[in-house]
Amino acid sequence: MSTRAFAPFVLGALVACSASPGKIPETPIAVAPPPEPDKKPVIIPSTPVPMSPIAVDEAALDKSVDPCDDFYAYACGGWKKATPIPDDRSSWTRSFSEIDERNEQRLKTTLEAYVAGKNAKDVDAKKLADFYGTCMDENGVEKAGLGPIAPALQIVDGIKDKKDVGPALAQLWSLGYGPLFGFGSGQDFGDATQVIGQLEQGGLGLPDRDYYFDKGAKADEIRTAYVEHVAAMLKLANRGDDAAAIMKFETALATASMVREERREPKKVYHKMNILAVDKLAPTLGFPAFFAKLGVGSAAPINVLQPKFVEGVEKALQKQPVEAWRAYLAWQLIHERAPTLPKAFVDESFRFTSTHLTGAKAQLPRWKRCISAVDHAIGESLGRSFVRDTFGEDGKKTTHDMVVEIEKAMQRNLETLPWMDAATRKKAQEKLAKIGNKIGYPDKFRDYSALSVGHVHASNALAADAFEFARQVAKIGKPLDRNEWYMTPHQVNAYYDANMNEMVFPAGILQAPFFDKRATLATNFGGIGMVMGHELTHGFDDEGRQFDGDGNLKDWWSKKVGGEFEKRAGCLVKQYDGYSPVKENDKPVYVKGKLTLGENLADLGGVKLAYAAFKETRKGQPDAALNGFTEDQQFFLGFAQGWCQNARPQMLVVRVKTDPHSPAEFRVNGPLVNVKEFASAFQCKPAAKMVKTDKNRCEIW
Ligand SMILES: [Zn+2]
């Protein structure tokens, strides 16, 4: 719910979309979506369930489109026409959004039962009930006003001299706030068995540094609107109008910030140093005292992801007047906690983001926002009941068996890949053999017993953030706990973690249309099989390939083979650079081929691995055509129909600028133009739009 960032790498997973290497969630929310009134949620009519087995959703098709011309439009056109985006959403996806909707309804039933005092024996039942109930109590939130954040604002107002900034920041961090930069813990890139401190750039109110510098009428409009929004929020908080100074301050931070494409490069964000070295980057801030106050040992190693940013903070300390520091920090606190504050703050935040960034027409109903808040605060306890009710041992086994098939497909692929040499092939095989899998939910759930929850929502949210921050800090300098999960069990998502060298599939995603017990094998392999292949390929994408089987950042490639990889990956960069899903100021906004490279590699590898695993599983058996679709056609449609999406133009623009994933239509057509078996399945002619020539085809894994 808040915008703060804890763990390192996990920045991507826990917060709004970040392009840090490592754990990147597959469906990041580009802009924190804080919505509102208890409008009845728009229920999307679910497609009628045909008699088993299930293969292609024919109602979703648009048969007027030639599949060889635009497969995404063919597979999803009918669905797109029939499925409006709910007012409270900026996009709606046939898989992720619909599963999310179901999961949220289940969690709501559970939480309401806890509030009513039922199932009181469940672990943390009372804590969950108190947190959710207090969040739902809008009168209570109004009554509390700004009270819960008043102590933090006092700390900020107590800054009289620049030397006060460091101690004030330490106090704020220990109370659960996270202004100015991201700080937490994470695995050491150089020694994946150890956890170290991680300090990352942050502190911006707009979705990306580029928003402070982009040219054009639209960019100017957003900046002007942002300054007005800052002023409006400060006015609500009865503070002076310092919006212009705050914008200037944030622009200085943005200047020192690393661009998104570079943040995906592990070597560019690995600068391990001791606290004295961190101190040298920004001597005025007093990092040694800052870390000491937070309980970080003086010998703790810290990875400063962007040293230039920390130097930028020092520059700001020199140049910006102390009044600007006070104004900026007060704004950041109000902005960060806005979702937990009275309605006027929530409404003003929504007004700005919906008008200029997301295009949503209404806020999410309060119960959904409160479920997100509970998820953020006590997520693993919330997930316990979910997996108990929805995910049995058979689900775990079926999923595991499919992952094994996908891994075997990768093994076969590695054996025959023509551009590999023997030494690199051997290392790649070793890495593959060491990839771990986590399926469903953690073996050991997190212990929240030391977190106390009271009856003021904003204070509860702060207490939970302070609790999590303390947990992060306590890990610094210690060996890694390999059992930890970076997503909660009910999340509709998955990740590959290069440092852990493991794939993680929470129970939340293991549902229709990705996975359905009643579906044909072809459809399931196209659905969840592709997701598994996607995660596996992340281990060998442009970032993942830089880590070895033990999760260490270590070059295991021969020079020649590394060059081959880059040449081949360059083919995809060029392909996606040419895609544009939306216009701004009447000009097409193009996908960033470099920013999205890792995901595009994973999408292409994912489809190919899932297809290979599917064919192997069905080897020697006659084609099980269903309703006129061959098995191969079912596979490719099962894949494509998982990505059917409608998105508002504003959101598409933000996504293209910030999201390492390509827009949905290119996540389907982008890989398939490179897959020969797709062309055969639909008997596409060589000159068709969905078919690349042998010479132009991108082939990596
Ligand atoms: Zn991915």
Instruction: Give the residue-averaged pLDDT of 473-501.
Output: 96
Q: Which of 153-167, 240-254, 382-396 has the lowest mean pLDDT?
A: 382-396
Cα–Cα distance for residue pair 307/476, rounded to 1 Å: 19
Distance 495 CA to ligand 1 centre (A): 7
142 CA to middle of ligand 1, Å?
A: 40
- 44 — pLDDT class (breaks 50, 70, 90): very low
Expressed in angstroms and rounded, the spacing between residue 50 Cα and the centre of ligand 1 is 31
What is 616-681 written as a DSSP string?
HHTTTS----BTTB-HHHHHHHHHHHTT-EEE-HHHHHHHHHH-SSPPHHHHHHHHHTT-HHHHHH
| pLDDT value at residue 52 | 55
> Is the confidence at residue 16, as pLDDT, over 50?
no
Ligand 1 centroid, distance to 26 Cα (angstroms):
5
How far does the centroid of ligand 1 lie from the alpha carbon of residue 91, in Å?
A: 19
Å from CA of 95 to ligand 1 middle: 16
How far is ligand 1, taken at its centre, from the CA of residue 191, in Å?
24
Residue with token string 């309605």: 343
Helices assigned H by DSSP within 476-617: 521-524, 530-538, 559-577, 597-617
Q: How far is the CA of 272 from the centre of ligand 1 (A)?
A: 26
Average confidence (pLDDT) over 664-675: 98
| CA 214 – ligand 1 centroid, Å | 27
Q: Is 577 marked active-site? A: no
Kindly report, residue by residue over 562-615, the tens digit of the pLDDT: 999 999 999 999 999 999 999 998 899 999 999 999 999 999 999 999 999 999
Task: Assign 505 to helix, strand or coil.
Answer: strand
Residue 389 has pLDDT above 90, yes or no: no
Residue 394's pLDDT is: 80
pLDDT digits (tens, 9 = 90+) for 397-412: 889 999 999 999 999 9
- Distance from the alpha carbon of residue 518 to the mean position of ligand 1, in angstroms: 27
Using the mean position of ligand 1's atoms as its centre, give its distance from the Cα of residue 25 in Å: 7
Q: How far apart are CA 511 and CA 227, in angstroms?
A: 43
Res. 479: pLDDT tops 50: yes
DSSP letters of 334-368?
A: HHHHGGGS-HHHHHHHHHHHIIIII--SSPPPHHH
Tokens describing residue 485: 């999960």
For residue 283 the two structure tokens come to: 């001597």
CA of 445 to the centre of ligand 1 (A): 25
Within 10 A of 52 (CB to CB), how many other CB atoms are there? 11
Task: Using the structure block, give the residue that is written with the tokens 């994946």.
Answer: 192
Give distance in angstroms: CA of 608 to centre of ligand 1.
15
Inform me whether the pLDDT recorded for 29 exceeds 70. no
Write the pLDDT tens digit of every residue in 256-306: 999 999 999 999 999 999 999 999 999 999 999 999 999 999 999 999 999
* pLDDT number for residue 26: 56
Overall average pLDDT of the 428-453 stretch: 96
What string of H, E and C letters represents the secondary structure of 171-207? Answer: HHHHCCCCCCEEEEEEECCCCCCEEEEEEEECCCCCC
Residue from 36, 41, 33, 14 nearest 25 by CA: 14
The sheet carrying 502-506 orders its strands as: 436-440, 502-506, 495-497
> Residues 101, 200, 535, 659: which is the catalytic one?
535
Let me know: does 395 contact 510? Beta carbons within 8 Å. yes
**Alpha helix (H) residue ranges in 4-70:** 11-14
Give residue 467 CA to ligand 1 midpoint distance, Å.
Answer: 29
What is the DSSP annotation of 69-85?
A: T-HHHHHHHHHHHH-PP
Residues 6+ positions from 303 with CB-CB distance below 8 Å: 8, 186, 188, 189, 196, 197, 198, 199, 269, 270, 271, 272, 273
Q: How far is the CA of 653 from the centre of ligand 1 (A)?
A: 20
Residue (of 507, 510, 458, 453) closest to 485 by Cα position:
507
Q: Which residues pair with 273 in a beta bridge?
A: 302
Q: How far does the centroid of ligand 1 lie from the alpha carbon of residue 506, in Å?
A: 14
Whole-angstrom distance, CA of residue 664 vs CA of residue 655: 11
Give the DSSP H or E segment for 272: strand 272-273
pLDDT digits (tens, 9 = 90+) for 307-330: 999 999 999 999 999 999 999 999
- Which of 564, 603, 631, 659 is the catalytic position? 603
Active site residue 603: yes
**What CA–CA distance (Å, rounded) separates 48 from 68?**
27
The answer on pLDDT for 2 being more than 90 is no
End-to-end CA distance of the chain: 38
111 versus 26: which is more confidently predicted? 111
* Angstrom distance (rounded) from CA 468 to CA 465: 5
Task: Tell whether omega for the bond before 513 is within 30 degrees of 0, i.e. cis.
Answer: yes
Whole-number Å distance between alpha carbons of 185 and 183: 7
Residues 492/27, Cβ–Cβ less than 8 Å: yes
Rg (CA), the chain: 25
d(CA 664, CA 669): 9
Distance 415 CA to ligand 1 centre (A): 24
Q: What is the mean pLDDT of residues 16-36?
A: 37
Confidence of residue 76 (pLDDT cuts 50, 70, 90): very high
CA atoms within 13 A on the CB side of 578: 7
Phi first, then psi: give them for residue 54, nearest 5 degrees. -95, 140
Which pairs with CB-CB distance under 8 Å and at least 24 residues apart come from 275-284? 275/300, 275/302, 278/199, 278/302, 278/304, 278/310, 281/307, 281/310, 281/311, 281/314, 282/310, 282/311, 282/313, 282/314, 282/317, 283/314, 284/162, 284/163, 284/165, 284/166, 284/314, 284/317, 284/318
Helix (H, G, I), strand (E, B) or coil at 277: helix
The DSSP code for 40 is P
**pLDDT of 388 above 50:** yes
Instruction: State yes or no: pLDDT of 168 exceeds 60.
Output: yes
CA of 701 to the centre of ligand 1 (A): 15
76 Cα to the center of ligand 1, angstroms: 21
Q: Is 668 exposed, middle or buried (0-12, 13-18, 19+ CB in 10 A)?
A: buried
Q: Dihedral of the CA atoms 126, 127, 129, 133 (nearest 10)?
A: 140
- State the chain's mean pLDDT as an integer: 92
How far is CA 145 from each of CA 340, 349, 429, 492, 553, rounded to the nearest angstrom? 10, 16, 58, 34, 48
Residue 258, pLDDT score? 97
Phi-psi region of 176 (alpha: psi -120 to 50; beta: other; left: phi over 0): left
- CA of 603 relative to ligand 1 center, distance in Å: 7
Report how far ligand 1's centroid is from the alpha carbon of 62 (Å): 28
For residue 660, the CA-to-ligand 1 centroid distance in Å is: 8
Per-residue model confidence as pLDDT tens digits over 612-644 = 999 999 999 999 999 999 999 999 999 999 999
pLDDT at 391: 83
Token pair listed for 319? 């140049």
pLDDT score of 390: 84
